Structures are given as C-alpha cells and as structure tokens.
A and B are shown apart, each in its own frame.
Chain A
Amino acid sequence: MNSLIHSSLVTALARLLIFPGLLFAVPAAWFFLWVERKAVARMQGRIGPPFMQPFFDLVKLLGKSTPPRSGVSGAMMKAWPLIAVSAAAGAVGLLPVLPARGGFEGDLILLLALLEVPSMCMIAAGFSSRSIFGEIGSAREAVLSVSYNIVFLLAILSIAAAQHTLSLSALALLPPSLMRSLGIAAILICLPAKLHLNPFSLPNAEQEIYSGPLTEYAGPELALWELSHGLEWVAATGLVATLLAPPVAMWWVGALIFVAISFVIVLLLSIVAAATARLQIDTAVRFYWQCTLIFAVLAIASTLFARWRA
C-alpha cells in the first residue's frame, strides 16, 4: 500500500514536471505562440518572427526591471501572474496523454477549474492595477467569460454525461462518436474567446485599450503572463486533442497524435484570428448567448435523451 502511494506520487510529479507538464509544456507553449504569430504573418503576406522569438521575448522580459509595488494591491499584483502560471501548468499536467498512468475519477472537474483560474487572475489583475484601461479590459473579460463559459461547460458536460464518467483518461479511451463531435464543435467555438484571439480579442484589445488588464505590468511579471498565456494554449488545445484522439496501444504514438492534433488546432485558430476583425463587446456576447448556446443545448439535450432511452 505504501509503495503504491509512493509510486502514484512519483507519477503525479512526473506528469506535472516532465510530460505533459512543465518540461514539455513550456517549449510547447513557445512553439504554439510562434505558430500563432507566424500563421497570422503568413496570412497577411508577411514573413513573420523567427522561430526562437517567444523564447527571446521571455528571456528579455526576465532581464528587465519591475515597477516598485507596495501595499496590499502591490502584493496582489505580484501574486496574480504566479497563480495564473501555476494553475495553467497544473491544467497541462492533468491531460491524459499517457492514459494508463495516473488520473482519477473527477479530474475533468479539476481541469476545468484550473483552466478558468488564469482568466480569473487576469480580471483581478486588471482591477488591482487601478488603470482605467485595465479596468475596462477586466470588465470585458468578465462579461465575455460569463458568456462563453456557459457554452463551454455545457459542451463538456454533454460529452461527460454521454460516457457516464468524469475521468479524463476514461474519456480519452472511448472511441469518437457523433454526439461527441457536436460537443467538440461547441468547445472549438469557445476557444478564441478563451485564448483572447480575434474576433474575441476584446479584453486585451490593442490600439483600443492599450493592453487591457496587463497595461501596468512590466518585466518578469509580464513574462509570467506571456508564459501563462502560452500554457493556456497548450492546455486548451490539449483538452480538445484528448477528446479527438483515437485510443492507440503504443504510448508514444498516442503522444505524437496528441501533439499533431494540438498543432492543427493552433493553426486553425490562428487562421481564423488573422481572417477576422474584432467584434464589439455586445456583438460578441450576443454571439455566444444567441447563436452558440443552441449548439450546446442541442448537445446536452441529445445526450440526456440518449441516456433516458438506454
């Protein structure tokens, strides 16, 4: 019994720190940030940034000085990016890329909660910065997150209810079905808003409200925000990849498929971002409440109907 606890602790740590945790996730985050910028540049007929650009940006930001912060709001401003990065790293660590090892009943709920933490931190950071642009950005982020999260959670709930499980590795092992693809489509529609991409790049709308909640951040703190954004990319695309990937016997083939699907989703989202312009906040909210909610309700209704028939 003791050795069992010991080994599960070791696998949990390995998942958090090595694969799919930090050691894999940080380079993957850089790579995805680069793919996003490069894809947008190619869509605009530009050449775009060099491959190492996100890495250069991060190291450069680490070497800059930070504004002096004092008092409670200063301490909170220092804490928000740290919490955001740790939550995003934890979310990546939960992804069942190696289904046979680790995972527990209910880790889906934990993953959803951790995925929500960076956005909450950003809202709080904008308000504690006391900058008018930060406050506008935070208010937009809050409104947007209320809108897309209903759809996002309903879609995931429909998938979980159809399979009678709240365990990620069990969900990953099941074969894809029609009902699941409806739910995945609804999740994909929510991802641009979750990752602050066009046409839902409202909270960090550049040229409009400067950098939104991050306006007052500089140096290493900004580097942490960039990192948490990258990790959010990995976690969000990884969640979809987990649901989409067919179960395979060999673990390294599974890991490769996982990375490939994530890459395709990043490319898809970047192309949509480059091809669209930013919506107004009321249009964006109406889009989720009026157009997309139907998808999610349809998915969950059909699931419940199927469960009732069975």
Chain B
Amino acid sequence: MKLWDKLMCTCRRRSPWLFHLNTGSCNGCDIELVAAMTPRYDAEQLGVRLEGSPRHADILVVTGPVTHNSLEAIKTVYGQVYGPKAVVAIGSCPATTNVFIDSRTLDGPLNKHIPVDVFVPGCPPRPDAILQGVAKAAEILAARGNNLPVEPVVMPLVGPGCGGACACGNVTQSVESNAAESGAGHE
C-alpha cells in the first residue's frame, strides 16, 4: 500500500494536466501560457498537457483579475475539476488585481473565492516562470493529495525587470552594459 502511494505521488508530480481559465485577463498572460507549450519552452517534457475539458485537468491555471461576470464561471469550473487538484494564479492580476485595483467591475483577488496553491507574479510572467510555477504546483499536489492547500506559494519574479531577484539578473545587466557600450542604449 505504501509502495502504491509512493508511485501515485510520483505519477501526480510527473503528469500535470492543465485547464486554462481566463477571468477577464488582458490576454497578455494567456499568450505567455501558450508560449510555454511551444517548441522553445516545450512544457510536454514535464508531462504537461493543455486539456480542453476541466474534467480531465489536475491543475487549474487562472489568469485575469476576476471580474464580476466571470465569478460564477470560476466557481463552476473549479467544481468541475475532480480532485486532487491545484490552482495556479498566473500574473499579478489574480494575485492583487494589479492596476485595476478598486475597480467597481472586479471582485478580486482570486484567493477570496477559491484556494490558490501557487502565485506566479509578473505582468505578464515569462513562460519559464509559468513552467516553474506549474512544476511547483505539481509537486505540492503530489505531496498534499486531496487536502486543501495550507499556505499559497509565491514564486520569485523571473526575467528582465525583476530587480535581481532571480539568477538571471546578471544576464540582463550584461545585456544592458553591452547595449550601452555599442551606443545603442534605451531611449
């Protein structure tokens, strides 16, 4: 029995199927999510499959600042995903409602309505950050099974503009210094 649990844990970690839910996003994060499936990032290496039906999915990937219109849909789709399931909030909108804060058309942030496992910050986040978030969510899902998430994980910001929060800070700096040297800096 213990062996079976161990096997199940591995399989849940290695086979996260996603369902993508847009709750009024500007389409920026959606494009980045699709970019994560393309040959350059190739999410299928992690066993990721973008499913058409929420019934098939393990991880609900939510973009957008949660508009009043989408609220019912969020609850329905969250119920349609069968457990064990995890939720990944992509971008700054579902986490904080971003620049739309205090708008009368919004009912965010997302974790007011459904339990969120992983927040991937960025506006939009880079595809590699999204992949990192999905991999983290799969890990959490494998560990906790059918239990509810305890504390949402906030992933570190990745890529240009992260202020050196990630390992790639050096790369962007050197690119900038190269640009400055060649006299073709930012306007």
Name A residues whose Cβ lies closer than 8 Å to a Cβ of B: 37, 41, 44-50, 52-53, 55-57, 59-60, 63-67, 133, 206-207, 209-211, 214-219, 222
Contacts and interface: CB of A to CB of B under 8 A. Distances in A.
Contact of B8 (A63, A65, A133, A214): A63
A219 B82 contact: yes
A49 B56 contact: no
Nearest to A212: B52
B10 A214 contact: no
Contacts, number: 83
Interface of B: 7-8, 10-12, 14-15, 17, 39, 42, 44-45, 47, 51-53, 55-56, 58, 82-84, 146
B47 A218 contact: no
B47 A59 contact: no
Contacts of A66: 82
A49 B11 contact: no
B105 to A, nearest CB: 28
A57 B56 CA distance: 11
B14 A218 contact: no
Closest A-B pairs by Cβ, 4 of them: A210-B52, A59-B11, A218-B55, A60-B11
Contacts of B15: 53, 56-57, 60
Scoring A37, A47, A60, A207 by chain B CB atoms within 10 A of each residue's CB, the highest score goes to A60
B148 to A, nearest CB: 15
Given A50-B45, A210-B52, A215-B52, A44 B11 contact: no
Contact of A222 (B14, B39, B56): B56
A107 to B, nearest CB: 36
A136 to B, nearest CB: 13
Nearest to B48: A49
A266 B47 CA distance: 21
Contacts of B58: 60, 64
Given A50-B14, A56-B47, A60-B12, A218 B42 contact: no
Nearest to A37: B44
